[in-house]
Amino acid sequence: MTKRIYFSGDFHLGAPDFEKSLVREKRIVAWLDSIEHDAAEIYLLGDLFDFWFEYRHAVPRGFTRLLGKLSQLTDRGIPVHVFTGNHDMWIFDYLPKECGVILHRAPIEKEWNDKKFLIGHGDGLGPGDHGYKFIKKVFASRLCQWLFARFHPNFGIWLASRMSRYSRKTTGDDDQKFTGPDNEWLVQYCREQLNAKHTDYFIFGHRHLPLQIPVGPTSTYFNAGDWLVHFTWLEWDGAALVLKGGQRQEENPAVSGQAE
């Protein structure tokens, strides 16, 4: 049996409310159930939660099905890599200690079968978005984290969840709009990286769109999509990287489904 490597992310559990999040969580766990028999590794590309902050003795309630499944996978010896995203950058040591995942805060390089990969969440990469890049530096600072931890968990989690919902309401459907590869910041980032170093596959999340876009003669940018709308993932079988799942891929002209 061929072992495969899977990539997915942008679950945004907790949004928009408990009931809809729970339905989505069960669907995600069912997907993890379906791939564990042939998974060599699993890469979760960030924003697993719509908000997450770890206090010293408290974490946000809920998500027990996903956390239990991640623990089961790592207990079986399947490496599960979790990237922090812009919504859950305040994951610290709870998931590594309790669930056994491998945590990443920045893109990483991997190589399989002589193919070079660059993998990450994707936020703050490429040109533009200077306001967010500044805010990300603030939120990533130890001072900001220390100050937020001074809030009582009931208030802190409520406040952050409210801000997350407001941000989503403000941006509306902008994350679901594809305006052409030349306007995609991550495409520009990939092309810039190729000037310094060859990479065969760039794999990111964050955009909430399942994308497959050539960025060089033998290089391709893939976005794994999301589980709010598209329910997509990427699968590497050692020879091809394939975009799978989905219910709205046909609406996106950038999606073709496979790269040899």
Residue 102 corresponds to which tokens in the numbers above? 């491998």
pLDDT of residue 259: 43
Per-residue confidence at 250, pLDDT binned at 50, 70, 90? Answer: very low
- Which CATH number do you get for residue 200? 3.60.21.10
Q: What per-residue string of b and e applies to 202-239 under the rule 16 or more CB within 10 Å gives b? A: bbbbbbbbbbbbebbeebbbbbbbbbbbbbbbbbbeee
Is the model's pLDDT at 22 over the cut of 70? yes
Top mean-pLDDT range of 88-97, 179-188, 200-209: 200-209
Per-residue model confidence as pLDDT tens digits over 110-130: 999 999 999 999 987 877 765
Q: In what order do the strands lie in the sheet with 232-236?
A: 102-104, 80-83, 39-44, 4-8, 232-236, 241-245, 258-259
For residue 234, what are the β-bridge partners?
A: 7, 243
pLDDT of 54 reads 85
Q: Which percentage of the chain shows pLDDT scores above 70?
A: 79
Task: State the amino acid at position 118 in one-letter form.
Answer: L
CA 126 to CA 39: how far, in whole Å? Answer: 31
> Does 32 score more than 60 pLDDT?
yes
Q: Reduce the DSSP state of residue 95 to 3 states and report it.
A: helix
Q: How high is the pLDDT of residue 223?
A: 97
Q: With helix as H, strand as E and coil as C, how does 138-190 read?
A: HHHCHHHHHHHHCCCHHHHHHHHHHHHHHHHHHHCCHHHCCCCHHHCHHHHHH
CB distance 202 to 118 below 8 Å: yes
Who contacts 87 (Cβ-Cβ below 8 Å, separation ≥6)? 12, 46, 47, 49, 50, 51, 52, 164
Lowest mean pLDDT among 49-63, 80-94, 169-183: 169-183
> Max CA-CA distance within the chain?
53
Predicted local confidence at residue 247, as pLDDT: 66
Number of structural domains found in the chain: 1
Range of the domain at 125: 4-259
Report whether pLDDT(198) > 50: yes
What is the Cβ-side half-sphere exposure of residue 144, based on CA atoms within 13 angstroms? 11
